[in-house]
Amino acid sequence: MRFDVITLFPELFAPFLASGVTRRAYESKQVEVVLWNPRDFADGNYRRVDDRPFGGGPGMVMTAEPLSACLDAALAARGAAAPVILFSPIGETLRHEAVERWSAGEGAVLVCGRYEGIDQRFIDARVTHQLSIGDFVLSGGEIPAMALLDAVARLQPGVLGDADSHVQDSFNPALDGLLDCPHYTRPEQWMGETVPPVLLSGHHVQIERWRRDQRLAITQQKRPDLIEAARAAGRLSPADEKALQKKL
């Protein structure tokens, strides 16, 4: 798959694409990332990509023409149409289900806005999807773009050291959309705290039940909406319901 990223700061992506376990996806081209700077498509000596907003107000607005020309070049290089994603506060909140859909597709063009925003005419004419990573504001779309790329890359075959690693992630359908359980490693005692005895028992059935109960308890405490969604989908067993009652 291929992601073309339209950004005024392509240099921000260099360490991201070369670091951590997900670099395997980028190095192998399982997830190909191509960076485009709209300044390269702007006119004039100063290559301006922003201007003052009509109607007044603070800040500057990214102009439509350099973005549109940059997008045309990215789509031409791809050789085919592709979804165009803008990271925006009004977009759909990015969730695991959406990440799985994007990870199984052919990629997209990611538009990273800056300043006070982007000329609405570009959004109306060229953007096909808007995504948000939460109810807060960042200086630009680069960090959300990296978040999507990272989430997609780690789901590609062979990227994680253990093929089952992502199956244990929070929100994964394999865990019925629940949050993950606590994890422990050596030493067995640290600062007076010990590892839960069941994890040292070697009894795999009991260990899995403990982990399931922990996932249920944590999700009920932190994200009860996920418990209700799992219940509505028929994903909770009688043993799950019994464990939830004990924790209430």
Query: Catalytic annotation on 116?
Result: yes
* From 2, 114, 126, 154, the catalytic residue: 154
Question: What sign does the CA torsion over 184, 164, 132, 66 have?
Answer: positive
CA distance 47 to 40: 7
Query: Catalytic annotation on 121?
Result: no
Query: Catalytic annotation on 169?
Result: yes
* From 65, 100, 150, 169, the catalytic residue: 169
CA distance 80 to 94: 25
* From 65, 100, 116, 150, the catalytic residue: 116
CA distance 71 to 126: 8
* From 32, 40, 47, 89, the catalytic residue: 89
Which tokens is 43 given? 């006119």
- Cβ burial, residue 169 (10 Å; 0-12/13-18/19+): middle
Catalytic positions: 89, 116, 154, 169
